[in-house]
Amino acid sequence: MADVARVAGVSPMTVSRAFKRDASVSDATRSAILEAADALGYVFDSTASNLRSQRTDFVAVTIPSINNANFADTVRGLSEGLKERGLQILLGYTDYDVREEERLVEQLLRRRPEAIVVTGGHHTPRTRRLLENSGIPVVETWDLPVAPVGHVVGFSNAAAVHAMVDHFVSLAITRIAFIGGDADRDTRGTDRRAGFISAMRAHGLDAGRLIAAGTPPISMKEGADAMGRLLDTMPDTQAVICVSDLSAFGALTECQRRGVSVPGQIAVAGFGNYEIAGICVPSLTTINPFPDEIGKRTASLILDVLDGKQTGSAAIAIKPVLIRRQSSP
């Protein structure tokens, strides 16, 4: 920066100002400075700026997996909402593991982000403590925790699946199965399964048709295998709710391979409203949790908090919508 200042015939301080949006520098001076910088191949050094100004313009985000279109949609909504203010996302993956989340959160907080967004409301005690003491806005998403750390933008996974069970029962479908993960690793998956069980019990129905499909995330293939086991062991099942559209699609293909008619012999429902659910044949009944909306609302919440417009903790409830399609009556 000193070199640029020398070439442009100004002080380093003026060069610094020329690289900011709103700083008061005359147009002539600024263009001379930017020209000098370009000629010298100078690239602004954020690391020094970050230290001195105590601002990094990072927003830390943790998602379970990069390879999931739902979370990717949330990150995209978030990213776009934050970009206009010059905030950049610092992304990390927890691999559906709260221990990994703990390591990740600590690592991310060291980078001094302006805010942190985590997926889900289940954390290790230490993660919780780190978040609480971080001194920055914390947003939990994709869940509605009973005792949130800070702000919340999400929905109840259990309630959403509960609504799907209610829907089937209203159609006089009562022998309903659930395909999901076999571990408690994916806390959203566990919540969905819990919603299934509580809904079945609320209707006085058998909640025992649970098929474990593997460790999260459940792939299409695992969904197909689980459907095979369901058809083999409980052939009188009338409907199956899958933990995600991906496993539901896999289940659907298994029916196609076996010549089992959907929804004629068995109805299939998914979760997430992935693109595939709307286009596959038959199209999949599912629940839309509005992943992009979660991202957008989180972004504007963060901006409001950083601007001081939002004081106190916000709890923004997204209302998932059940989408009836061809895979169910």
Q: Which residues bind DNA (CB under 7 A)?
A: 1-2, 10-14, 16-17, 19-20, 23-26, 28-30, 44-45, 48-49, 51-55
* Comparison of 54 and 311: residue with beta carbon closer to DNA: 54
Q: Contact letters (x/-) for a copy of itself, 13-52, by CB under 8 A?
A: ----------------------------x-xxxxxx-xx-
Footprint on residues 180-219 left by a copy of itself (CB under 8 A): 219
Q: What is the distance between the alpha carbons of residues 213 and 216, in angstroms, rounded to a whole number? A: 8
* Comparison of 73 and 101: residue with beta carbon closer to a copy of itself: 73
Q: What is the distance between the alpha carbons of residues 12 and 1, in angstroms, rounded to a whole number? A: 6
Looking at residue 315, the DSSP 8-state letter turns out to be E
Q: What is the distance between the alpha carbons of residues 6 and 21, in angstroms, rounded to a whole number? A: 22
**Member of 76, 85, 128, 175 binding a copy of itself (CB under 8 A):** 76
310 contact choice in DNA, a copy of itself, none (CB below 5 to 8 Å, kind-dependent):
none
Q: What is the distance between the alpha carbons of residues 253 and 259, in angstroms, rounded to a whole number? A: 10
The span of 115-123, 147-155, 161-169, 276-284 binding a copy of itself (CB under 8 A) equals: 276-284
CB 252, CB 327: distance < 8 Å = yes
Footprint on residues 104-123 left by a copy of itself (CB under 8 A): 106-107, 109-112
220 contact choice in DNA, a copy of itself, none (CB below 5 to 8 Å, kind-dependent):
a copy of itself
* Comparison of 155 and 274: residue with beta carbon closer to a copy of itself: 274
CB 49, CB 34: distance < 8 Å = no
Cα-based distances in Å from 168 to 79, 142, 181, 279, 286: 37, 24, 22, 22, 12
* Comparison of 11 and 107: residue with beta carbon closer to a copy of itself: 107
The span of 88-96, 116-124, 164-172, 304-312 binding a copy of itself (CB under 8 A) equals: 88-96
Catalogue the long-range contacts made by 186-191 (C-beta closer than 8 Å, 24 or more residues apart). 186/64, 186/96, 186/216, 186/217, 186/243, 187/98, 187/120, 187/121, 187/122, 187/143, 188/120, 188/142, 188/143, 188/157, 189/216, 189/218, 189/243, 189/244, 191/143, 191/156, 191/157, 191/158
Q: What is the distance between the alpha carbons of residues 286 and 275, in angstroms, rounded to a whole number? A: 11
Instruction: List, in sequence order, every residue forming a beta bridge with 269; answer none if it has no partner.
Output: 241, 285
Instruction: List, in sequence order, every residue forming a beta bridge with 61; answer none if it has no partner.
Output: 91, 117
In whole angstroms, the minimum distance from the beta carbon of 175 to a copy of itself comes to 25
66 contact choice in DNA, a copy of itself, none (CB below 5 to 8 Å, kind-dependent):
a copy of itself
24 contact choice in a copy of itself, DNA, none (CB below 5 to 8 Å, kind-dependent):
DNA
**Residues in touch with a copy of itself (CB under 8 A):** 41, 43-48, 50-51, 56, 66-67, 69, 72-73, 75-76, 79, 88-93, 106-107, 109-112, 130, 133-134, 219-221, 224, 246, 249-250, 253, 256-257, 275-276, 278-281
